[in-house]
Amino acid sequence: MTPVVSIENLKDHVGEEVTLQGWLYRKTGKGKLQFLQVRDGTGICQAVVFKGNVSPEDFAAGKSLTQESSLRVTGLVKEESRAPGVPGGYELDVRELEAVQLAEPYPISPKEHGVEFLMANRHLWLRSSRQWAAMRVRAVIIQAIREWLDGHGYLNVDTPIITPAAAEGTTTLFEIDYHGEPAYLAQTGQLYNEANIFAFGKVYCFGPTFRAEKSKTRRHLQEFWMVEPEIAFCDLDQLMDIEEQFISHIVQRCLRECAAELQVLERDTTHLERVTPSFPRIHYDEAVAMINEAAAKGELVPGYDEPVPPMEWGDDFGSPHETYLAAQFDKPVFVHHYPTQVKAFYMESEPGRPEVCRSVDLLAPEGYGEITGGSERMSDPDKLLAAIHAHDLPEEAYGWYLDLRRYGSTVHSGFGLGVERTVAWICGLDHVRETIAFPRTLTTMRP
Ligand code: 4AD
Ligand code: MG
């Protein structure tokens, strides 16, 4: 029995006879030669079937293979710089071939399909090379997230998904029935994270979060994954220091490990290579001034072909504003001190300037928008109670949260990074629906 080898490991088996198990991606050839593009989940390799090297039965089996048929091929690994494939550079000189199952006519062909059709066939679409590449990059991003946090003294403490109250505003909650009592799917783990820092110092939670967002944009999902670090004795400036180290690590690890995937995605990595500390930091006031100046001059939003829309101080940015701002810098840019009125109740206000809060969003380059949102948290119990009232939140639901400010309160901060937006940015995908295996959008929850 020859050893079964993964395509990504072929480089270690040049000159050896190995077996690949996988599926037929594409097939060409004529007469005595067949070129099979075999994919096995780790890559794509060209298997060359020459009539003189295999039994007549195996040659016929190769000819019978349809797209996506499952198969086993055994042969000699050869270095061949021109061989197509992912990562490419190696091919298999086939000696034996077994068709495991001949696939029925496959609905997804190399020709163009509409997105609706592809989404309805997401369970099959995932096999296509671009989707495959994006999911592989996503997995590396998640590894990098955990690696950096685990290596910098953050304890992973996961937070509940079933929660009795809102944390990020009451308009985007998914309600469920908790044995007769209303409950909600978590929009964030942050409030519980805040309890955890008083026990463990630096923590993070990482899991799915849920928002019944009525927005049908290319950046919003109903269910998305968020990693949320939270740090005791940390102020807004220190938070930005942490974020820029963390995000640079994620990007640089992807560049190192995902070259083949980024190539499949045809990602221009110039912007990504520049993602190293430190990142520019601008005040919201300054951001509004930049936008209104550009609007007055009739400047266009890059990639939108429309003029920068003017805005009022106090409003949140729209996507064209974020895209314009990000395009003014060659790295991700922090925008800090947003108006209190557009942010969540728990954000610390700026001393002497209560209309702005000690919050920070990180905007990714190239129009990918906000990838992290964070802030310093309100640390005074009386101020926090007033904020809870001002937001019409039920005081009794937040009793435990107020306790955190009664027993050893201190300045503390945290942020949340949206995994799907980060994947979209690093992979250069223009819609978050392709950044998770089975996306939940306003219009899709099947398959
Ligand atoms: O800015 P957000 O709402 O912040 C929070 O939830 C805080 N509690 C985090 C914290 O401080 N611990 O969300 C954080 C990030 C956004 O920057 C964005 O990347 C992502 O989560 N995000 C979404 N991603 C996909 N679809 C949605 N509907 C998203 N909403 C937020
Ligand atoms: Mg936000």
What are the structural domains of the chain?
A: 7-101 (2.40.50.140), 122-280+329-434 (3.30.930.10)
Query: Nearest ligand to the C-alpha of residue 413?
Result: 1
Helix, strand, coil abundance in the chain, percent, nearest 5? 35, 30, 40
The pairing of strands 90-101 and 44-50 is parallel
Predicted confidence band of residue 430 (pLDDT cuts 50, 70, 90): very high
Tell how far CA 376 is from the center of its chain. 24
Question: What mean pLDDT is predicted for residues 138-167?
Answer: 97
For 234, the token pair is: 């940390």
For the cut 90, the answer to whether the pLDDT of residue 30 exceeds it is: no
d(CA 374, CA 430): 24
Compute the CA torsion angle 426, 430, 436, 442 (nearest 10 deg).
Answer: 150
Q: What percentage of the chain exceeds 90 in pLDDT?
A: 95
pLDDT digits (tens, 9 = 90+) for 196-208: 999 999 999 999 9
- The average pLDDT across 151-175 equals 94
Confidence of residue 304 (pLDDT cuts 50, 70, 90): confident
Confidence category of residue 166, pLDDT binned at 50, 70, 90 = confident
Worst-scoring range by mean pLDDT, 32-36, 60-64, 303-307, 376-380?
Answer: 303-307
Report d(CA 14, CA 180) in Å as an integer: 63
pLDDT reported for residue 203: 98
Of 138, 236, 361, 421, the residue with max ligand 1 atoms within 8 A of its CB, to mutate for a pocket test, comes to 421
Report CA(373)–ligand 1 centroid distance (Å).
6
CB 401 within 8 A of CB 347: no
Q: Residue 53 and residue 206: Cα distance in Å, rounded?
A: 52
In the structure, what pLDDT confidence band is assigned to residue 5 with cuts at 50, 70 and 90? very high
The alpha carbon of 367 and the centre of ligand 1 are apart by a number of angstroms equal to 17
> Minimal CA–CA distance to 59: which of 49, 68, 69?
49
CA distance 362 to 375: 11
Place of tokens 């797209």: 67
Q: From atom 24 of ligand 1, which residue's Cα is the shortest distance away? A: 418
State the average pLDDT for the chain. Answer: 96
pLDDT score at 423: 98
Is the predicted pLDDT of residue 73 greater than 80, yes or no?
Answer: yes
Atom 2 (ligand 1): residue with closest C-alpha? 373
If phi > 0 it is left, if psi is from -120 to 50 it is alpha, else beta; for residue 32 that is: alpha
Judge whether residue 382 has pLDDT over 90. Answer: yes
Whether 416 lines ligand 1, by a CB cut-off of 6 Å, is yes
Taking residues 157-164, report their average pLDDT.
97
User: What is the pLDDT at residue 168?
Assistant: 87
Give yes or no for residue 49 having a pLDDT over 80.
Answer: yes
pLDDT greater than 80 at residue 105: yes
Q: Evaluate whether 346 touches 293 at the Cβ level (below 8 Å).
A: no
User: At residue 110, does pLDDT exceed 80?
Assistant: no
Q: How far apart are the first and last CA of the chain?
A: 39
Regarding the beta carbon of 369 and ligand 1, being less than 6 Å apart is answered no
Structure confidence by residue, pLDDT tens digits, 384-409: 999 999 999 999 999 999 999 999 99
Residue 219 has pLDDT above 90, yes or no: yes
Is the bond leading into 278 cis (omega within 30 degrees of zero)?
Answer: yes
User: Cβ(413) to ligand 1 under 6 A?
Assistant: no
Residue 424 confidence (pLDDT): 98
pLDDT class for 225, splitting at 50, 70, 90? very high
Report the candidate in 246, 249, 254, 410 with the shortest Cα–Cα distance to residue 334: 246
> For residue 215, what pLDDT band results from cuts at 50, 70 and 90?
confident
Element (H, E) at 75: strand 70-79
Residue 216 has what pLDDT? Answer: 86
Rounded Cα distance between 243 and 372, Å, is: 9
pLDDT beyond 90 at 109: no
Q: What is the pLDDT of residues 229-241, one digit of tens each?
A: 999 999 999 999 9
State how far the Cα of 201 lies from the Cα of 420, in Å rounded to an integer. 27
DSSP reduced 3-state for 90: strand
267's CB contacts (< 8 A; 6+ apart) are 426, 427, 428
CA pair distance 386, 237, nearest whole angstrom:
25
Tell me the C-alpha distance between 235 and 247, whole Å: 18
Is 332 close to ligand 1, i.e. is its CB under 6 Å away? no
Q: Indicate the DSSP class of residue 152.
A: T
Which pLDDT score, from 0 to 100, does residue 379 have?
97
362 close to 316: Cβ distance less than 8 angstroms: no
Instruction: Check whether 126 has a pLDDT greater than 90.
Output: yes
Cα–Cα dist 62/111, whole Å? 23
